[in-house]
Structure 1
Amino acid sequence: MEVLIHNPLTRFLIQAFLIIACARLVGLIARRLEQPMVIAEVTAGILLGPSLFGWLFPETSAVIFAEQSLPLLKLVSEVGLIVFMFLIGLELDPKLLRGRGHASVIISHTSIVVPFALGGLLALYLYPRLSESSVPFSSFTLFMGAAMSITAFPVLARILTERRLLKSKVGALTITCAAVDDVTAWCILAFVVSITRATGLVSAVWTTVFACAYIGGMLVVVRPFLNRLGERGGSKEGLSQDLVAVTLLLLIVSSWTTEMIGIHPLFGAFMLGAIMPKGTSFAQSLAEKLEDFAVVFLLPLFFAYSGLRTHIGLLNSADGWLMCGLIIVVACVGKFGGSTVAARLTGLRWREASALGILMNTRGLMELIVLNLGLDLGIISPKLFTMMVLMALVTTFMTTPLLRWIYPPEELAKELIDAPGQTPLPAAAAEVYTVLMCVSYERTGPGMVTLASALARRGPDARRLYALRLIPPTDRNSFYVNQAPEQQGATALTPLLARAQELDVEVRPLSFVSPKPSLDICNVADVKQADLVLVGWHKPLFSQTALGGTVYEVMRCARTDVGVLIDRGLKEVRRLLVPFHGTAHDKAALGLARRLAQEVGADVTILHVVKPTRRAGDAPLGAQETVDQVFEGEEGDALRKSKVTLKVVEHDSPAAAAVDEAARGYDLVLVGVGPEWGLAQRRFGMRAEHIIQGCPTSLLVVRHHEPATAPATAPAPAAKVFALASEPEPDRT
């Protein structure tokens, strides 16, 4: 190992490689557990530190993370922190702090005062046990109070957006309180740092005077200059490299100024970001240029440096773990308890108040920044630092599962109906036909609405058509709060809505961020009482099956019929082909074809495939028997009037026979899912479905949902399948 590391740069590159790779690998697990990325990065840092890597491989760890190399790692990580704190300031919109009313004032102040007071009381117990006598008790107490009051604003904003709570009452209130918390807690922390660094009363007074002068200068002199800079950066010229250079120079000067005053460079970075103009695209463009490098490369170095300072082995006694548990309990009681009770007293329901308390208890990265400040200043010991890091991890980790328990997906789906800007759902009626169209790509929209409008042609009172666009969550943190899912979804839904306007059909768009699209599709289908869910098709990664991935999950879990549309230029629905084998899914496909025949007068061809060699048990019906039974009696007469043709062919492969017949000029092929057509439902698979790959025209793969309470019935004979596939429609003449 020493041969590979022959200079400080080589050692740093190896450290960076291990840190970033470990953070991303742990991040894969964190995403599976629906945890924010900060959990993965903090955990990766601890794993690379003496708590695991240094414990298992002490010699290797001593070489890679040698003591003399840590100052360089710390320096680079602090540069990353300065950039990140600037981005946090950019993300903090002053509008969040205004006009939120009486409730936000009470909750935000309570969520600071209560944990601060409990942190001060906890300091009485911890100071004689975990602190040095050289540390002033006042500094220790103030620091513990500030550390308990921190809320992780960026992590909270991301969780709110992913859980679709940001636009709700509780989400708006939470993000406001978190913004107030962040500003107040950082002001308190700045005061604590200045007191700790001051060598006497005179020094503390001068630090306070210079800090006030700095803030005044930033607001009076720098802010107007930044407004002019923002207007230029938000113009058609865009954000040039010169503007980025000027901004970075201001960032350096602001951070250097607060360091010289005696506070900390992080406060200067945060202050500059907070006063940046938010009304133009300047701030967002600037964040997009800086964020990826800061978050992916620089921040993991900070987490690793924190992990190297976290020695879980220091908690080698029952007393140590009891004190750690006490810190976690006090942190949760102060933040969660104080916020929840205050929210309940302001009129929120217990569900909303509890959700707000859970979110406010999130600490994450911001807590780690505070703890490192305390350790660097000597206010807290390495042992207390380790306990507080574990507290930050636990309070952040518990947020998502507790929030899912308080606000389950079904409850969130129901609240979509009452969300601001949504049209209330009309009362359900037996004759109303509802279709939920799930649009993943723009190109699939026009074909979906063409089919959906044909299925429900008879007037707006007899149909409900919804277009759902689910937006995958991004890795970006800054301006995550300001991203409007409705605006992003509108872009993907534009072709669908344009086609709907041509057809004179009303479509209600729905759009929101979804980390689990299949679950949300099924929940929305339940809430909207959909008769049919239409899903667009795309081939999943590392798979040849078209019915895998999200499509598989929707077909497996949806409590209604599902149609997967493989659109190959569907413009009209006039000639239909229905390959029929007699399964429940085939009957559902036949039912949709019957509906299309009644609604738009489509011609329907039913394809029945039999084996070329007729032996006992090969097929339930012969060719002539099938024809006779399909068209016998009154039902047969009705089928003839609907332009329905039964076609019986002999072929070794039903799927190949269907593909051959589809080449004869049909607009749409409707086929039930099932192995008889080579369409087995598989989550993964490397075997392509022949009928999907070979069909030259648009194809609708139908999966029928059988209600659990429905009585079991014997398979209907082929003669009655068409009539039984759906309820008889009322006479329109």
Structure 2
Amino acid sequence: METLIHNPLTRFLIQAFLIIACARLVGLIARKLEQPMVIAEVTAGILLGPSLFGWLFPGPSAVVFAQESLPLLKLVSEVGLIVFMFLIGLELDPKLLRGRGHASVIISHTSIVVPFALGGLLALYLYPRLSDSSVPFMSFTLFMGVAMSITAFPVLARILTEKRLLRTKVGALTITCAAVDDVTAWCVLAFVVSIARATGLVGAVWTTLFAVVYIGGMLFLVRPFLARLGERGASKEGLSQDLVAVTLLLLIVSSWVTEMIGIHPLFGAFMLGAIMPKSTGFAKSLAEKLEDFAVVFLLPLFFAYSGLRTHIGLLNSADGWIMCGLIIVVACVGKFGGSAVAARLTGLRWREASALGILMNTRGLMELIVLNLGLDLGIISPKLFTMMVLMALVTTFMTSPLLRWIYPPEELAKELADVPDRTPLPVAAEVFTVLMCVSYERTGPGMVTLASALAGRGPEARRLYALRLIPPTDRGSFYLDQGPDRQGTTALSPLLSRAKELDVEVRPLSFVSPKPSHDICNVADVKQADLVLVGWHKPLLSQTVLGGTVYEVMRCARSDVGVLIDRGLSAVRKLLVPFHGTAHDRAALALARRLAQQVGADVTILHVVNPKRRADDAIGAQETVDEVFEGEEGGALRKAKVTLKVVHHESPADAALEESARGYDLVLVGVGSEWGLAQRRFGIRAEHVIQGCPTSLLVVRCYEPAAVPAPAPAPSQPMLSTALTAGPDRT
């Protein structure tokens, strides 16, 4: 091993490779557990430290992470922290702190005061056991209070987005309180650091005065300059390298000034990012240039450095683990209890108040930054540092499972899909509801063309929803500004434009979804959809169209599902329905019958008979078609032409393809093996009918509750008659 490491640069490159690779591998597990990436990065850092790697392989660990190499690792990680704190400042929009009402003020102040007070009380117990006389008791107490009060704003923003809570009342209130907490806690921490670094009372006073002067200069001198810089960066020339260089120079100067004052370079980086103008695209463009390198390369180095300083072996006694458990309990009681009770007193329901308390208890990265500051300044010991790191891990890890328990997906779907129906309906009105799930922009126009034809022309009897689900992003910044509303509007624009041409009202829905199939089914339940319309796409690692998310929706949705393969559908005038008699075929036939009612579409029903069998189905075919025009809705159906066509062919799928080439606007076919269409999670060859059909195709799956018996046998002529004369909405 030592022969491979012949200079400091080589050692650093090997360290960086191991750190980033381990963080990404653990990240795969974290994503499976629905945990934020910070959990993986912190865990990876601990695994590479003496707690595991150094314990299992002491020789290689001592060579790769030799003591003489740690100063370089620390230096690079601190540079990454400075850049990251600048990004956090960019992410913090001052508009979040205005106009949120008294509730956010009460909750945010309570979520600072209560854990701070409990941290101070805990310090009375921990100081004689985990500290010594060289550490001033006031500094220790204030630091414990701040450490208990921290909320990880960037991690919280990511969790809120991934859990689709950002647009809810709880999410908006939580992110506001977290922003206030972040600013307050960092200001208090700056005061604590200045006291810890000061040589006496006079030094502390001078540090405070210099800090006030620095803040005033940043607000009244630097911010106007940044505003002009932002306007230039938002112009048509865009963000040039010169502007990036000027910004980085300001970042270096701001960090250097706060270091000289006696606070810490991180505060200067955070302050510069916080006063950066957010109204233009300058801050967003700047973050995009810096974020990936800082988050993917530099931050894991900081986590690894923190992991190298975390010695779980120091907790080698029952007393040590009891004190660690006490720290975790006090942290949860202070942050969760204070936030939840304050939220309940301001009028929130217990479910909402509990969710807010769970979210505010998230610490993650920000806690680690604070703890490393405390360890560097000598305020806390390595043993207490290890306990506090475990506390940060536990409080962050518990957020997602507790949130799922408090806010189950069904309850969340009700809030996210709560779009008021602006058109009042008569009490007896029969409403046909279509939920259109748009994954790609190109599928929108065809979907709304079909949905509007199915729902009919009367606005009092139709409900059309366009759902756009946005996959969660790894980006840490600008969740709040570049939210699902803006992304959803962009993706749904072609659909909404087509709906305007058709004079049809469509209600758009959009939110972030890590599990799109679950959310589609939940929204369909909430909206009581008669039909879930899914756009065609080819899933990853699969050659089958009816796989992936489409497969999950077909399997789990409690309503009929249609998969539209759009090949330029602009009108619904001439329909082909291949019919073999299954429940899915009957559902496709029911949709065709509804189209005949609503828009007068011509329907051709293709019944394929195996030539080796008797063709009794052909007898009385015309009489069966005539039966369609009888009954209560016969007048509406007489506007359409319904034709029953019986053909003899050994392959139903090939017969359907041959007939589809005769100039149809849309082919409606039930999912089933007889047409070469099977629901499957994965597949190795594309469906024959889907690939060969020259026109637009709608693959229909009928909702069959568990109580429904097995599919009926091959159709006879009376079965066709029953399917044709069934109601328009359900068969």
After TM superposition, the score normalised by the length of structure 2 is: 0.95
Cα deviation for residue 636 of structure 1 reads 5.6
The residue that corresponds to 1:673 in the other structure is 671
The residue that corresponds to 1:576 in the other structure is 575
The residue that corresponds to 1:513 in the other structure is 512
1:507-586 correspondence to structure 2 within 5 Å: 507-586=506-585
> Residue 581 of structure 2 contacts residue 719 of structure 2 at CA under 8 Å; is this kept in 1?
no
Of 111-120 and 15-24, more deviation after overlay is shown by: 15-24
The residue that corresponds to 2:461 in the other structure is 462
Change (3 A) 1:541 1:128: same
Letter in 2 for 1:81: L
The residue that corresponds to 2:397 in the other structure is 397
Take 1:429 and 1:232, find their aligned partners in 2: how far apart are those partners? 60
The residue that corresponds to 2:409 in the other structure is 409
> Residue 438 of structure 2 contacts residue 466 of structure 2 at CA under 8 Å; is this kept in 1?
yes
The residue that corresponds to 1:4 in the other structure is 4
The residue that corresponds to 2:696 in the other structure is 698
Cα deviation for residue 355 of structure 1 reads 1.1
Take 2:162 and 2:422, find their aligned partners in 1: how far apart are those partners? 22
Cα deviation for residue 714 of structure 1 reads 5.9
The residue that corresponds to 1:210 in the other structure is 210
Take 2:28 and 2:618, find their aligned partners in 1: how far apart are those partners? 55
1:99-498 correspondence to structure 2 within 5 Å: 99-418=99-418, 423=422, 431-498=430-497
> Residue 630 of structure 1 contacts residue 718 of structure 1 at CA under 8 Å; is this kept in 2?
no
Take 1:697 and 1:679, find their aligned partners in 2: how far apart are those partners? 17
Q: Percent identity?
A: 84
Cα deviation for residue 645 of structure 1 reads 2.3
> Residue 624 of structure 2 contacts residue 721 of structure 2 at CA under 8 Å; is this kept in 1?
no
Take 2:335 and 2:724, find their aligned partners in 1: how far apart are those partners? 57
Take 2:417 and 2:5, find their aligned partners in 1: how far apart are those partners? 60
The residue that corresponds to 1:635 in the other structure is 627
Letter in 2 for 1:684: F
Take 2:427 and 2:127, find their aligned partners in 1: how far apart are those partners? 64
State the secondary structure of the residue aligned to 1:652.
coil
The residue that corresponds to 1:619 in the other structure is none
Letter in 2 for 1:565: L
State the secondary structure of the residue aligned to 1:253.
helix
> Residue 254 of structure 1 contacts residue 272 of structure 1 at CA under 8 Å; is this kept in 2?
yes
Change (3 A) 1:422 1:393: farther
Letter in 1 for 2:703: H
Take 2:260 and 2:427, find their aligned partners in 1: how far apart are those partners? 68
Take 2:355 and 2:324, find their aligned partners in 1: how far apart are those partners? 25
Change (3 A) 1:11 1:425: farther
Question: Where does structure 1 lack aligned partners over 5 or more consecutive residues?
Answer: 615-621
Aligned-CA RMSD value: 2.1
Cα deviation for residue 628 of structure 1 reads 2.1
Report Cα offsets for 1:637-694 as digits up to 9, x if no partner: 6599552222233333222222222122221111111222221111112132111111
> Residue 629 of structure 1 contacts residue 719 of structure 1 at CA under 8 Å; is this kept in 2?
no
Take 2:9 and 2:275, find their aligned partners in 1: how far apart are those partners? 37
Take 1:401 and 1:427, find their aligned partners in 2: how far apart are those partners? 43
The residue that corresponds to 1:598 in the other structure is 597
Take 2:308 and 2:672, find their aligned partners in 1: how far apart are those partners? 55
Change (3 A) 1:705 1:473: same
Take 1:399 and 1:424, find their aligned partners in 2: how far apart are those partners? 40
> Residue 587 of structure 1 contacts residue 722 of structure 1 at CA under 8 Å; is this kept in 2?
no
> Residue 429 of structure 2 contacts residue 460 of structure 2 at CA under 8 Å; is this kept in 1?
no
Take 2:138 and 2:163, find their aligned partners in 1: how far apart are those partners? 40
Cα deviation for residue 454 of structure 1 reads 1.3
Take 2:278 and 2:50, find their aligned partners in 1: how far apart are those partners? 43
The residue that corresponds to 1:16 in the other structure is 16
1:36-51 correspondence to structure 2 within 5 Å: 36-51=36-51
Change (3 A) 1:729 1:154: closer
Letter in 1 for 2:699: V
Cα deviation for residue 19 of structure 1 reads 1.2
State the secondary structure of the residue aligned to 1:498.
helix
Of 625-634 and 643-652, more deviation after overlay is shown by: 625-634
Of 555-564 and 270-279, more deviation after overlay is shown by: 270-279
Change (3 A) 1:581 1:428: farther
The residue that corresponds to 1:71 in the other structure is 71
Report Cα offsets for 1:24-64 as digits up to 9, x if no partner: 12112211221111111111111111112222222222222
Letter in 2 for 1:464: R
Change (3 A) 1:470 1:190: same
Take 1:311 and 1:425, find their aligned partners in 2: how far apart are those partners? 65
Cα deviation for residue 462 of structure 1 reads 1.4
State the secondary structure of the residue aligned to 2:177.
helix
Letter in 2 for 1:544: Q
1:714-725 correspondence to structure 2 within 5 Å: 717-721=716-720, 723-724=722-723
Take 1:606 and 1:332, find their aligned partners in 2: how far apart are those partners? 65
Cα deviation for residue 226 of structure 1 reads 1.3
> Residue 630 of structure 1 contacts residue 719 of structure 1 at CA under 8 Å; is this kept in 2?
no
> Residue 417 of structure 2 contacts residue 509 of structure 2 at CA under 8 Å; is this kept in 1?
no
Take 1:330 and 1:342, find their aligned partners in 2: how far apart are those partners? 17
> Residue 174 of structure 1 contacts residue 359 of structure 1 at CA under 8 Å; is this kept in 2?
yes
The residue that corresponds to 2:81 in the other structure is 81
Cα deviation for residue 627 of structure 1 reads 4.0
Take 1:244 and 1:632, find their aligned partners in 2: how far apart are those partners? 75
State the secondary structure of the residue aligned to 1:631.
helix
Cα deviation for residue 461 of structure 1 reads 0.9
The residue that corresponds to 1:617 in the other structure is none
Change (3 A) 1:295 1:427: farther
Take 1:595 and 1:688, find their aligned partners in 2: how far apart are those partners? 30
Take 1:664 and 1:39, find their aligned partners in 2: how far apart are those partners? 58
Take 1:29 and 1:577, find their aligned partners in 2: how far apart are those partners? 47
> Residue 591 of structure 1 contacts residue 722 of structure 1 at CA under 8 Å; is this kept in 2?
no
Take 1:429 and 1:415, find their aligned partners in 2: how far apart are those partners? 27
> Residue 561 of structure 1 contacts residue 703 of structure 1 at CA under 8 Å; is this kept in 2?
yes
Change (3 A) 1:76 1:626: same
Of 465-474 and 367-376, more deviation after overlay is shown by: 465-474
The residue that corresponds to 2:29 in the other structure is 29
Take 1:612 and 1:66, find their aligned partners in 2: how far apart are those partners? 81
Letter in 1 for 2:279: G
Take 1:138 and 1:177, find their aligned partners in 2: how far apart are those partners? 27
Letter in 2 for 1:355: A
Letter in 2 for 1:11: R
Change (3 A) 1:729 1:651: closer
> Residue 609 of structure 1 contacts residue 657 of structure 1 at CA under 8 Å; is this kept in 2?
yes
Letter in 1 for 2:694: P
Take 1:426 and 1:403, find their aligned partners in 2: how far apart are those partners? 37
> Residue 315 of structure 1 contacts residue 321 of structure 1 at CA under 8 Å; is this kept in 2?
yes
Cα deviation for residue 145 of structure 1 reads 0.5
Question: Where does structure 2 lack aligned partners over 5 or more consecutive residues?
Answer: none
Take 2:297 and 2:625, find their aligned partners in 1: how far apart are those partners? 75
Count of matched residue positions in the alignment of Structure 1 and Structure 2: 722
